[in-house]
Amino acid sequence: MTARKRAAKKSSPPVIDPYLPGAGNFGYRVSRYELELEYKVTINRLSGAATITAVTLAELKTFTLDLSGALSVSKVTVNGRRPAHYRTSADKLHITLSERLPAGAAMTIAVRYGGTPRPIRSLWGEVGFEELTDGVLVAGQPNGASSWFPCDDHPSAKASFRVQIATESAYFALANGKLLTRRARAGMTTWIYEQAEPTSTYLITLQIGMYERHRMAKNGVEIFAVLPRRLRDDFDHDFGRQPQMMKLFTKLFGPYPLANGYTVVVTDDDLEIPLEAQGISIFGANHCDGRRGEERLIAHELAHQWFGNSVTVQRWRHIWLHEGFACYAEWLWSEHCGERTVDQWARHYHERLKNSPHNLVLADPGPRDMFDDRVYKRGALTLHALRNHIGDTEFFALLKDWTNRYRHSSVVTDDFVGLAARYAHDSLRPLWAAWLYSPEVPELDAGS
């Protein structure tokens, strides 16, 4: 290796997650975001002020925040003082302090910014802030949060949020958490939402449209619907069994992890796939057609409130802990409704996987394949193989322990493997070796 190559290698910035090498930041931990936003739907113009409360993890002179290059920054302060310098480049806001902060110091970062937001291009298409025909949606997974506010955009960086959004009064604006106030003035309405539970940045969303809000369920967990009036009748049919779905999942997975209920948004536009956010799921008008043909997706998105939103991966390589569990929830709901059983679904998708390319390792599928359907189905099959091995009683006790023990925190595959060992009477290593760490598709009883 030449001296020049060695120097280039040494100067490469550190990476938190190789699946998303540009996302995430070092040197601090955020505990809270407070966003004050104004958005003009008619001209797609966003102006905002973000106040970020953090603590330094090491002595700090310079640091960065994730922020899309489509947005320009007009002012930055840190602990009330202007920094020595700040600049934006490569979807980062770089801040240089006038004086070093010691490790463990409190840090309040205030950023004023604005511009014409647009989605971020990624390996998986466009993610983040997206214009609809008449409104907006935010689809943040996996790195879209920085398309509309400065942040530490990584799933393990959880914080509480307060989102204040002002927009034209004709529109309904929804963000995560509890609606604290809604006030109209001079043709604009300001909405303020508080998301108290620790939440990953990619799970914070903004939904704006010509919507109405309805309460679906009053007993147990409150369920709300936000959608265009024209879709109300079809919605009541297609999504009408959500209260029963919630009852089943709280029985199998443990208490619903959020204090302020669950909201389903249906946009006036068609969407390719539904989207999950903390306490919210977003569907397109094409998922609401009066035929009740998308109920597996409804179950999948609800299950993410436990698996993915409350219990969240530390690194994206562990995404089967989100998608495999949510897929398995689809099968559980199907069986509960007297339709195809879990075992029938497992055998159906096992046969399909056997006839698919055997080049994916579930515990580390690679960035291009992290949303591959094989991750979803093989993840669910892994759970089914585990259930067959340890039995129903231990399996569902494990799921409840998992959602309780790691509630509102971050996990890796080894956390689940370690916890599962407590519910098995013999070694699970053959099972994990076959399902998690080998590209070959094992038989359903592999590791038993």
**% residues pLDDT > 90 (the chain):** 95
d(CA 20, CA 276): 19
Q: Where are the domains of the chain?
A: 28-209, 212-305, 316-435
Angstrom distances, CA of residue 169 to CA of 40, 182, 190, 209: 10, 10, 8, 11
User: What is the predicted pLDDT for the residue at 112?
Assistant: 98
Q: Determine if residue 323 is labeled as part of a ligand binding site.
A: yes
For residue 432, the model assigns a pLDDT of 98
Cα 84 from Cα 77, distance rounded (Å): 10
Distance CA 426, CA 437 (A): 19
Kindly give, in sequence order, each residue whose CB lies less than 8 Å from that of residue 218, ignoring residues fewer than 6 positions away: none
Q: How confident is the model at residue 14 (pLDDT cuts 50, 70, 90)?
A: confident
| CATH number for the segment(s) 212-305 | 3.30.2010.30
Angle at 142 (CA atoms; ends 181, 27), nearest 5 degrees: 85
pLDDT of residue 129: 98
Is the confidence at residue 212, as pLDDT, over 80?
yes
Residues 6+ apart with CB under 8 A from 330: 296, 297, 299, 300, 303, 345, 380
pLDDT band for position 10 (50/70/90)? very low
Non-local (6+) Cβ contacts of 288 within 8 A are: 227, 231, 234, 235, 238, 239, 266, 294
What pLDDT is recorded for position 11?
Answer: 52
**pLDDT, tens only, 277-327:** 999 999 999 999 999 999 999 999 999 999 999 999 999 999 999 999 999
Task: With cut-offs at 50, 70 and 90, classify the pLDDT of residue 218.
Answer: confident
**Predicted structure pTM score:** 0.95
* Catalytic position from the list 19, 171, 262, 376: 376
Does the annotation mark 376 as catalytic? yes
- Model confidence pLDDT, tens digit, residues 38-85: 999 999 999 999 999 999 999 999 999 999 999 999 999 999 999 999
Q: Is 304 annotated in some ligand binding site?
A: yes
Cα–Cα distances (Å) from 345 to 302, 341, 372, 384, 438, in that order, read 19, 6, 18, 10, 22
User: What's the pLDDT score for residue 445?
Assistant: 75
Structure confidence by residue, pLDDT tens digits, 137-162: 999 999 999 999 999 999 999 999 99
Q: Is 300 annotated as a binding residue?
A: yes
Range 316-435: architecture per CATH = Orthogonal Bundle (1.10)
CB burial readout 207-246, b (16+ within 10 A) else e: bbbbbeeeebbeeebbbbbbbbeebeebbeebbebbbebb
CB atoms within 10 A of CB 393: 9
Q: Could you tell me the CA-to-CA distances from 71 to 249, 287, 290, 323 in Å, in that order?
A: 40, 32, 40, 32
Q: Output the average pLDDT for the chain.
A: 96
* pLDDT score of 217: 78
Q: What pLDDT, in 10s, does the model give residues 417-434?
A: 999 999 999 999 999 999
Q: Left (φ > 0), alpha (ψ -120 to 50) or beta: where does 135 sit? A: left
Q: How far is CA 240 from the centre of its chain?
A: 24
pLDDT at 446 exceeding the cut of 50 = yes
Per-residue pLDDT, averaged over 107-123, amounts to 97
Strand 135-139, strand 158-168: pairing: unpaired
CA-based nearest residue to 365, from 439, 276, 273: 439
Q: Give the amino acid at 177.
A: G
What's the CATH architecture for 28-209?
Answer: Sandwich (2.60)
Tell me, yes or no, if 301 is annotated catalytic: yes
Among the listed residues 301, 330, 349, 423, the single catalytic one is 301
Q: What is the pLDDT of residue 250?
A: 98
